[in-house]
């Protein structure tokens, strides 16, 4: 049952990351700033303490194409568990910025924008035609909104750091 826990302060988040860096499976993942997705109190496990002494850290392992979840005991300063999970968590702020930067640098996007602001909205994306070659890749879709009536979409492969598609709105509604 969820408890009334507040988000961690910046210093508490930093302390959790220091503990996480002591674990051999987590340390290399934490070198990639965009890998950090969630650092929050553990309120989902009924066995967890009723306070915020446990933290959940969710990361994305870009090399293996997997989400990783760790539980950290803040009081004892140790990692309790590290597991991979088949789910993909929402994009981190760093991943959104990276996707937007890659999108606006793409020549197709630059032609469409014609010097106007992109006004981007960026979300996690699952390409409909995902092949085995990109199945373990993490994708974002950047909604480009230079005016109230114009839209285009850049699909960014965050694993390969490149724009893989530039779509017209019709491309998202055709079957």
Q: What is the mean pLDDT of residues 50-63?
A: 86
Q: Where are the domains of the chain?
A: 10-85, 93-172
The share of the chain scoring above pLDDT 70, in percent, equals: 89
pLDDT in tens, 112-123: 999 999 999 999
Fold entry, domain 10-85: Nuclear Transport Factor 2; Chain: A, (3.10.450)
Answer yes or no: are the C-beta atoms of 144 and 172 closer than 8 Å.
Answer: no
- CATH code reported for the domain at 93-172: 3.10.450.40
């Amino acid at each position: 049952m969820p408890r009334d826990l507040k988000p961690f302060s910046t210093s508490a988040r930093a302390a959790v990351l220091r503990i996480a860096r002591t674990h051999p499976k987590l340390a290399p993942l934490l070198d990639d700033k965009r890998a950090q997705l969630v650092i929050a109190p553990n309120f989902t496990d009924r066995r967890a303490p009723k306070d915020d002494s446990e933290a959940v850290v969710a990361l994305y392992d870009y090399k293996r194409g997997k989400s990783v979840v760790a539980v950290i005991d803040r009081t004892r300063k140790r990692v309790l568990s590290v597991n991979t999970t088949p789910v993909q968590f929402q994009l981190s702020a760093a991943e959104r910025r990276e996707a937007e930067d890659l999108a606006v640098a793409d020549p197709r996007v630059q032609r469409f924008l014609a010097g106007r602001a992109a006004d981007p909205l960026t979300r996690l994306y699952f390409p409909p035609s995902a092949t085995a070659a990109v199945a373990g890749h993490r994708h974002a879709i950047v909604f480009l909104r230079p005016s109230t009536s114009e839209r285009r979409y850049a699909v960014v492969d965050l694993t390969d750091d490149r724009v893989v598609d530039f779509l017209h709105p019709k491309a998202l509604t055709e079957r």
